[in-house]
Amino acid sequence: MSGFETRLAQANGRLKAGRVGVAIEQRGGRLLLRGTFPPRPGSEKTQPYQQRLALGYHANPAGLKLAELEAKKVGAALDAGEFTWEFYQSQVKPLSVGDWVQRFEVDYFTRRQRSPKTETTWRHDYRKVFDRLPADEPLTEQVLYRAIVATAPDTRTRKRFADVCQRLAQFAGLTVDFRPLRGGYSPSKVTPRNLPNDGAIAFWRRHIPNPTWQRVYGLLAVYGLRPHEVFALDFEDFPLIRVGEEGKTGARIVYPLYPEWAIGWDLIGDLPAVSGRTNTDLGNRVSKAFQRYKIPFTAYDLRHAWAVRAIAFGLDLSLAAAQMGHSVKVHSEIYHAWITQDIHKRAYDAIMSNPYRPMPPVD
């Protein structure tokens, strides 16, 4: 525990001993008060409930002294039934949405190292939501609620908005619960892509004239990689490969499906000289190459085809998930909904052709 955290705990200890009924919290670089307050003006609630009061004091020893004094004043006002939000709203100018987003970003990268992976997550999972919020308005529950319900229900976008707005509200000290707004989105409900079969995958590889891009295509097909991961591979144990730390989910080992493709497709060698600061940039270069060579499916379709191929081959679910770099839950939700009748038949035929399978008793 840091020196300031110790001081904060001591201050809250004194407030608790004095039965003040209000506690001090640190959010980012500022201090807030937490207690059971009457509803704010304009709220639909009618009874007091736990809320946070932004003071604007910095999280330092001087700010802590002021916060402790303010907590005692607020506690006394609550006990006397004289607390009013109007007084505090007139004394402290509320921070805008843009102010809170800026503080949230600083806090986010204080707890995570800036890297292509974390910046991609920030841009896709957070910035896309924050850019849709009114930056100059005060941050309120109503502002966040309007942004969430403006998205289509039961979609990935709705779920992302509800989750991100919940995190921003909690960071700013707002007591909200947007979980009921998340809806029923699940990856398993996404319509399966019209994936290329193995014959089509081999066919279109031969029609890429550039050998370096042909190699990228082959790596995606044989190992089910995310597009940007092609540029972060270790071939020391080939035909096994290792995806480096630059991958979205860190380092992992992947086995080839098919190993014949791995050996015969000349997968070790120069890759295209592409530039890109983030994983998204690298992935976009791959996507544009697919478009340039008029390949009728996407780079991610090759990844999905690997996953379905792994199911058809009988690769254990947890092993397939680990090699793709995601959880068993995600793997099951996405890919088990994509198993076609043909895959079921191939798996059944493989079991029946196994000479060691159990046999029924003879009549």
Give the confidence band of 111 by pLDDT, cuts at 50, 70, 90: confident
Across 286-294, average pLDDT: 93
Locate 205 and state its tokens: 């590889």
- DSSP assignment of 106-150: HHHHHSS---HHHHHHIIIIIIHHHTTS-TTSB--HHHHHHHHHT
Locate 289 and state its tokens: 């190459």
**CB 52, CB 41: distance < 8 Å:** no
Residue 141 has pLDDT above 60, yes or no: yes
**CB 214, CB 203: distance < 8 Å:** no
**What would the pLDDT profile of 226-275 be if each residue is shown by its tens digit?**
999 999 899 999 999 999 865 555 678 999 988 999 999 999 999 998 88
Residue 203: the pLDDT is: 94
Neighbours of 85 (CB within 10 A): 16
- Kindly give, in sequence order, each residue whose CB lies less than 8 Å from that of residue 151, ignoring residues fewer than 6 positions away: 157, 158, 161
Residue 348 has pLDDT above 90, yes or no: no
Q: In what order do the strands lie in the sheet with 233-234?
A: 233-234, 241-243, 252-254
Between 174 and 225, residue with greater pLDDT: 225
Lowest mean pLDDT among 79-83, 96-100, 308-312: 308-312
Residue 206: the pLDDT is: 92
Q: How far apart are CA 22 and CA 36, in angstroms?
A: 8
Most trustworthy range by pLDDT among 10-19, 46-55, 328-337: 10-19
Residue 186 has pLDDT above 80, yes or no: no
Each domain of the chain, given as residue ranges in start order, spans 3-93, 98-185, 198-350
- Burial zone of 227 (CB within 10 Å; 0-12 exposed, 13-18 middle, 19+ buried): buried
Residue 342: the pLDDT is: 65
On average, the pLDDT of the chain sits at: 84
**CB 103, CB 82: distance < 8 Å:** no
Element (H, E) at 253: strand 252-254
Of the candidates 156, 145, 150, 147, the one whose C-alpha atom is nearest the C-alpha of residue 180 is: 145
Residue 25: the pLDDT is: 92
- DSSP assignment of 9-40: HHHHHHHHHTT--EEEEEETTEEEEEEEEPPP
Q: Return the amino acid letter for 58.
A: H
Residue 161 has pLDDT above 90, yes or no: yes
Between 52 and 185, residue with greater pLDDT: 52
**Residue written as tokens 């002021």?**
66
Across 163-192, average pLDDT: 78
Residue 191 has pLDDT above 70, yes or no: no
**What would the pLDDT profile of 1-16 be if each residue is shown by its tens digit?**
678 889 999 999 999 9
Across 182-203, average pLDDT: 74
What is the fold, at CATH topology level, of the domain defined by 198-350?
Answer: hpI Integrase; Chain A (1.10.443)
* Local structure of 254: helix, strand or coil: strand
Give the confidence band of 19 by pLDDT, cuts at 50, 70, 90: very high
Give the confidence band of 121 by pLDDT, cuts at 50, 70, 90: confident
Torsion of CA 271, 275, 278, 283, to 10 degrees: -50
Residue 165: the pLDDT is: 93
Q: What is the pTM of this model?
A: 0.54
